[in-house]
Amino acid sequence: MAILELKNIIKQFGDTTVVNDVSLSIEQGEFFTLLGPSGCGKTTLLRMIAGFESPDSGEILLDGKNINALPPEKRPLHTVFQSYALFPHMTVQENIAFPLKMAKWNKDKIIPQVAELMEDVQLEKFADRYPHELSGGQRQRVAIARALVDRPKLLLLDEPLSALDARLREHMHVELVKLQEETGVTFIYVTHDQSEALALSSRIAVMNHGNVEQLGTPRDIYSRPKTYYVADFIGKCNLLKAKVTEIEPDTLRIRIADSFELSLPNETGITKVGQEGWFAIRPEKIKANWDPRSEDGIANFKAVVKGYYYYGDGTLYEFTLENGTVLQCMLANSRPHQAAFFQDNDEVYISINPLAGNFLVK
């Protein structure tokens, strides 16, 4: 059942439409992420859910009730920001207990509730420290514990990890997912970092200029992007110009980069021969070998190695097809020794399974 529903939300600042008719339904217990580049409207959408901004039109429903007119302090939710906003004169324990004191909880109930949260975020040892005696990661854990202590219906997180270094961020990803599962609180997370969104979320709404461009699980969004924007924004992707040359009931034949043809399922019901677009395929879905592959349905092309970049877990190769088109291919460095598979100017065969990519309409 949906805990939060956004219905046709529109928000303008002056002449600019920042959120453009967004409708979303978020389920109880989800880790839901709003993902997009700076300025796409994700923070404004989160601020409207929190009540810090009002939509110009549209409805926000929490548990089926319209909360458009409910002031922020009356909404059963908390927001965690990039800056920790802890009370400097209070210890960790006092900071976490604060919402319960404000809600006039009985002291006997406050103590075990705070102890449980401190354990969840592994801060028991720091209970009597003040914020200035903690690291950035520890402070953010206090902020998150404080925001969860009264078990809100929603926890809103606005780029909460962006002030932390990469290693600590990865550690916090694991902690956040665990916390969300343990508490069962619905998380709504805002980030511009696509790898963070893929790692954390049950579902992602990819935003672009105030619109939700695609909504789906991390796997859907990564492996079946529906638009050029999503394919390009999330991860690395080969986006090759393509044109429909034939349509059969369930199959499309497309000519790619003016050099080769592939047949693939007509997933989006394209009806126009000559339709222009792109063939999108992730670098790790492309294979490169010394000889062509002979499996059914696999297309093979001659290519030359133009360069390669060592990434530790994989090597990214750039190949040039005979007509000059460049393709990127990621090969896992899974062999025990370190030598590269191919060297510059080697002649190889690229093989593409059409089912590993998709046709995006222009």
Ligand X SMILES: Nc1ncnc2c1ncn2[C@@H]1O[C@H](COP(=O)(O)OP(=O)(O)OP(=O)(O)O)[C@@H](O)[C@H]1O
Which residues lie near ligand X (CB under 6 A)? 13, 18, 36, 38-44, 192
Residue (123 or 154) nearer to ligand X, CB = 154
In angstroms, give the least distance from the CB of 208 to ligand X: 10
Q: Decide whether 13 or 290 has the Cβ nearer to ligand X.
A: 13
Smallest distance from the beta carbon of 339 to ligand X, in angstroms?
42
Do the Cβ atoms of 110 and 100 come closer than 8 Å? yes
Smallest distance, Å, CB 147 to ligand X? Answer: 19
3-state secondary structure the chain: CEEEEEEEEEEEECCEEEEEEEEEEEECCCEEEEECCCCCCHHHHHHHHHCCCCCCEEEEEECCEECCCCCHHHCCEEEECCCCCCCCCCCHHHHHHHHHHHCCCCHHHHHHHHHHHHHHCCCHHHCCCCHHHCCHHHHHHHHHHHHHCCCCCEEEEECCCCCCCHHHHHHHHHHHHHHHHHHCCEEEEEECCHHHHHHHCCEEEEEECCEEEEEECHHHHHHCCCCHHHHHHCCCCEEEEEEEEEECCCEEEEEECCCEEEEEECCCCCCCCCCEEEEEECHHHCEEECCCCCCCCCEEEEEEEEEEEECCCEEEEEEEECCCCEEEEEEECCCCCCCCCCCCCCEEEEEECHHHCEEEEC
Q: How far is the CB of 215 from ligand X (least distance, A)?
A: 16
Pick 44 or 351: Cβ nearer ligand X: 44
CB of 199 to ligand X, least distance (A): 19
Residue 38 or residue 338: which is nearer to ligand X going by CB?
A: 38
Nearer to ligand X, 120 or 158 (CB): 158
With respect to ligand X, which residue has the nearer C-beta, 211 or 315? 211
Shortest Cβ 36–ligand X spacing (Å): 5
Shortest CB 180 distance to ligand X, Å: 21
Which CB atom, from 18 or from 262, has the smaller least distance to ligand X?
Answer: 18
